[in-house]
C-alpha cells in the first residue's frame, strides 16, 4: 500500500524509532507499519501475530550460523506482507513492536488511573 493513498493527517503515530514507525487509524480501525521501505496495513490481531513471530526469531543463533546468510523471512498465515530482514533489521523491528505495545499498555494504565480519579 502506498503512503500517497492514505491521508497521513488522520493517522496517529503510536511509536517510532530510527528505522520505522507504527501509526494508528481510528477511522479505519487499523494500524500501519512503516518499516523497511514498506508501508503495510494490519488489524489488531495481525499486528499481535507479527510481534509474536518477530519475538520468536533467535538473532544470536542467526548470527552464529555460518551455514546460511544472516537474513530471515518474516511472514505468517493470514498475512499478505512478507519481510526479508537482516539481523540488524530484526532487532530494529523488535524494538519498534515492543515500543508500540508498551505505548498501548501505558495508554491503558493512564486511562485507568484517570477513570479512577473521576469516579
Instruction: Specify if 22 maps to a domain.
Output: yes
Instruction: Specify if 1 maps to a domain.
Output: no
Residue 53 structural domain:
8-117
Instruction: Specify if 24 maps to a domain.
Output: yes
Q: Which residues contact 69 (CB under 8 A, 6 or more apart)?
A: none
Instruction: Specify if 66 maps to a domain.
Output: yes
Instruction: Specify if 47 maps to a domain.
Output: yes
Q: Tens of pLDDT along 4-16?
A: 566 666 899 999 9
CA-to-CA distance for 54 and 103, rounded, in angstroms?
18
Q: Tens of pLDDT along 77-117?
A: 888 889 999 999 999 999 999 999 999 999 888 887 877 76
The CATH number for 75's domain is: 2.30.31
Instruction: Specify if 106 maps to a domain.
Output: yes
**Structural domain tally of the chain?**
1
Please tell me the predicted confidence (pLDDT) of residue 51: 96
Please tell me the predicted confidence (pLDDT) of residue 25: 92
Closest-CA residue to 95 (of 20, 43, 5): 20
Mean pLDDT to the nearest integer, 66-79: 87
Instruction: Specify if 2 maps to a domain.
Output: no
CA-to-CA distance for 6 and 19, rounded, in angstroms?
20
Instruction: Specify if 52 maps to a domain.
Output: yes
pTM for this one? 0.86
Asked whether residue 66 carries a pLDDT value surpassing 60, the answer given is yes
> What is the DSSP secondary-structure string of 19-86?
TEEEEEETTTTEEEEEETTEEEEE-HHHHHHHHHHHHT--HHHHHH-SSS-SEEEE--TT----EEEE
Amino acid at each position: 500500500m502506498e503512503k500517497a493513498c492514505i491521508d497521513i493527517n488522520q493517522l496517529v503515530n503510536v511509536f517510532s524509532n530510527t528505522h520505522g514507525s507504527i501509526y494508528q487509524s481510528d477511522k479505519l480501525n487499523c494500524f500501519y507499519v512503516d518499516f523497511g521501505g514498506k508501508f503495510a496495513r494490519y488489524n489488531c490481531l495481525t499486528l499481535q501475530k507479527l510481534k509474536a513471530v518477530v519475538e520468536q526469531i533467535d538473532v544470536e543463533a542467526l548470527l552464529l550460523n555460518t551455514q546460511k546468510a544472516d537474513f530471515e523471512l518474516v511472514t505468517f498465515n493470514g498475512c499478505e506482507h512478507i519481510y526479508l530482514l537482516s539481523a540488524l533489521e530484526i532487532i530494529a523491528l523488535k524494538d519498534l513492536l515492543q515500543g508500540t505495545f508498551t505505548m498501548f499498555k501505558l495508554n491503558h494504565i493512564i486511562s485507568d488511573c484517570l477513570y479512577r480519579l473521576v469516579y
